[in-house]
């Protein structure tokens, strides 16, 4: 009878052990499900952060381009006012009031240009990974000269297109002409108006 009692107790212990294992398995399954849920939430959070970062980079890049466009417009206005000032000075020394007005406008534009340069510098410092300095410089030269260069040429060949009133191709062999002559040919393309 004692063997039977031991067998019953062992059976009960086994049933309790199996029950505990089942409970532990349920707890482990719940913990795994919770971990998977947390991982999915973390992935969504990281995905949203990356999307937000991408939008911020695009906005910052657009702000830089807009600042460059505004600066180019201010430079054109500044050049225009300089031209007007020279013409008025030649026409009459008696128009002091007009000249003073233009000088004030010129100072405002210079001040605006300095502000734009400061903004541009701040934006540049914040976007050195977005727009490399060489691209920025090339874009700035293109905005001023209206020349678009081809960079995949032989070392002694200058190739590009000047987009003035008409598109004029540029093809200069620098080994055959002096740097001064190259400069003169390029400056001849740029309008002084």
pTM over 0.85: no
> What are the structure tokens assigned to 104, written together?
């004030």
| 70-80 residue pLDDT tens | 988 988 988 88
> What are the structure tokens assigned to 162, written together?
């000047």
Distance, in Å, from the CA atom of 45 to the CA atom of 33, rounded to the nearest integer, reads: 18
Q: What is the mean pLDDT of residues 67-94?
A: 83
């Amino acid at each position: 009878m004692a063997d039977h009692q031991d067998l019953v107790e062992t059976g009960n212990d086994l049933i309790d052990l199996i029950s505990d294992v089942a409970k532990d398995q349920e707890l482990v399954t719940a913990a795994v499900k919770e971990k998977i849920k947390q991982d999915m939430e973390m992935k969504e959070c990281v995905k949203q952060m990356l999307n937000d970062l991408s939008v911020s980079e695009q906005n910052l890049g657009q702000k830089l381009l807009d600042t460059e466009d505004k600066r180019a417009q201010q430079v054109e206005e500044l050049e225009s006012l300089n031209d007007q000032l020279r013409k008025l000075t030649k026409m009459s020394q008696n128009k002091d009031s007009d000249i003073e007005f233009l000088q004030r406008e010129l100072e405002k534009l210079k001040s605006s240009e300095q502000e734009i340069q400061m903004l541009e510098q701040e934006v540049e410092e914040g976007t050195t990974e977005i727009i490399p300095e060489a691209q920025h410089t090339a874009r700035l030269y293109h905005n001023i000269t209206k020349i678009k260069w081809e960079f995949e040429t032989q070392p002694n060949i200058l190739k590009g297109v000047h987009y003035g009133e008409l598109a004029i191709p540029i093809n200069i062999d620098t080994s055959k002409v002096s740097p001064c002559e190259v400069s003169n040919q390029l400056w001849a393309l740029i309008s002084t108006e």
